[in-house]
Amino acid sequence: MKRTVRDIDLKGKKVLVRCDFNVPYDENRKITDNRRIVAALPTIKYLIENDCKIILCSHLGRPKGEVKPEFSMDIVAEELTRLLGQEVRLAKDVVGPDAKALAENLKSGEVMLLENVRFEPGEEKNDEELSKKFASLAEVFVNDAFGTAHRAHSSTTGVASFLPAVSGFLIEKELKFLGSALENPERPFMAILGGKKVSDKIGVIEALIEKVDVLMIGGAMAYTFFKSMGYEVGNSICELDKLDLAKELMEKAKAKGVKFMLPVDTKIGKEFDPNTESKTVKYTEIPEGWEGYDIGQETIDLYTKELQNAKTVIWNGPLGLFEFDQFAIGTNSIAKALADIDAIKVIGGGDSAAAIEKAGLAEKFTHISTGGGASLEFLEGKKLPGIEALQDK
C-alpha cells in the first residue's frame, strides 16, 4: 500500500501535484472533455482545505521538448478557475523565473499551474537536474496522474527522489479498484477484451488467463484468432505474424480451465465508411473483400447470457468500430448488459471508457480507470514507475 495525502502532515505546506490534464480540445482550443480535470478536484480541494500552497503540473499533447503555444496549459488554467471558483494562475514557464516567482508568493489555499512540463526537453528523459528544479518549488510531492504512472519522467518519478512523495485520491482509487479486482476478485471473475491487435494485449491476455474464469474476446483482434483456426477473414485487420501466438493463448486458456470465448458471428462492411453497406455473417463465413467491424447479435446474446453469472468483470477495449454508429451496437449492447448486472465492474480506461461515457452509463460502473496504457500495464502485473516512486505505508 502506498501513502496518500491523508498519511502525511500537509498543513500549510507548499505542495507540487502531478495531475493528468492531458485533455482533448478542438481547433478553437475549447476543451471537448474535461473528465480528467474533474477527476483531480478531490485531491486539489483537500489540499485547499488543509491551507496548502498548491502548485499543479501536467503535460498536454506531445510538444516533444519544445515550447509550442498550441500545447499551452492556458485552457486548463481557465477550466480549473471555473471548476474551483477561484483563480488558478498559470506560470509562463515550467521551472523558470516566472514559475519560481509565482511559487514563492503563493499564499495558503492558493493554486497555480506550471506551463506544460513537456516543454522541457529533460522531462521525458527523467533528467535529474530538471527533477531537482521541480523539487525546489515545493516541500511535498503528490502524484495523482495515473494516466502517466507507467512512464518514468521527471515530473512523475524523478521529483519523488528529492521530496516526500505520496499519492492523491485518484491514484489511491485506481490502485484500490484495479488491485482488488485482480488480487482478490469475487468469482466468477470475467474479463472482456477488445481493441485492434492481439500484440497490444498479449501481456494482458496472458496475465488474465492466470486469474479469470471466463475471457471474452471482441474487437478487431478476434480476426487474428479466427485466422489461426484456419478460417478466412476477408479484409479484416489480422496479424499474420501472431497466428501461432493466438493458438498458444487458446491452448493456455484450455489447460487452465478458463472459458475462452470468441465471437460466433460478425458484422462486416464493404469499406471503412460510416454508411458502408453491411451484413452479419457467421465467423467461419467472412467473404473476400469484406471487413469485420463489430460482433453480431448472436455473440451479443451469448456474451450477455454469460455475464449474468459474473461477480467481477474487467473490460478493456471496444468490441467493434464504435466511432461509426452502425458498428457501435456490440460495444453499446455489452455496456448496457453490464450496467444491469450486480457485480464489481471495472473499466480499464481508453476507448472502452469513452464508449461507456458516450452511452451515458458511467454511473452504473464501480470504477472507470483514467489511464489507458497505465491500466493495461497494471492489468499485466507490471510495476508502474510513477507508483513505485511513492512512499509505502
Q: Which of 137, 172, 207 is the last residue of a domain?
A: 172
Whether 294 and 353 map to the same domain: the answer is yes
Mean pLDDT, contiguous 10-residue spans, the chain (393 residues): 95 97 94 92 98 98 96 98 98 98 98 98 98 98 94 97 97 88 90 90 92 96 97 96 96 98 98 97 97 98 98 94 94 94 88 82 89 82 92 94
Whether 121 and 62 map to the same domain: the answer is yes
94 occurs within a structural domain: yes
Whether 157 and 221 map to the same domain: the answer is no
Instruction: Give the domain CATH number at 32.
Output: 3.40.50.1260
Length of the chain: 393
DSSP letter for 255, please: H
> CB within 8 A of 69, min separation 6: which ones?
none
Whether 264 and 374 map to the same domain: the answer is yes
In terms of residue numbers, what domain contains 106?
Answer: 5-172
- DSSP code string of 129-151: HHHHHHHHT-SEEEE--GGGTTS
Task: Give catalytic residue positions.
Answer: 36, 197, 350, 373
pLDDT at 35: 87
CA distance 318 to 218: 7
Give the pTM. Answer: 0.84
Query: Which value, in Å, is the radius of gyration of the alpha carbons in the chain?
Result: 23
Q: Which of 114, 140, 172 is the last residue of a domain?
A: 172
Whether 96 and 19 map to the same domain: the answer is yes
Whether 107 and 231 map to the same domain: the answer is no
CA distance 330 to 336: 10
- DSSP code string of 3-38: -BGGGS--TT-EEEEE------B-TT--BS--HHHH
pLDDT at 267: 98
Distance between first and last Cα of the chain: 6
Whether 200 and 129 map to the same domain: the answer is no
180 occurs within a structural domain: no
Whether 160 and 228 map to the same domain: the answer is no
234 occurs within a structural domain: yes
Whether 76 and 204 map to the same domain: the answer is no
Whether 205 and 82 map to the same domain: the answer is no
Total of domains in the chain: 2
391 occurs within a structural domain: no
390 occurs within a structural domain: no
SS3 assignment for 159-220: HHHCCCEEECHHHHHHHHHHHHHHHCCCCCEEEEECCCCHHHHHHHHHHHHCCCCEEEECCC
CB atoms within 10 A of CB 104: 10
Whether 120 and 99 map to the same domain: the answer is yes
Q: Which of 172, 202, 236 is the last residue of a domain?
A: 172
Q: The C-alpha cell of 127 is what?
A: 533528467
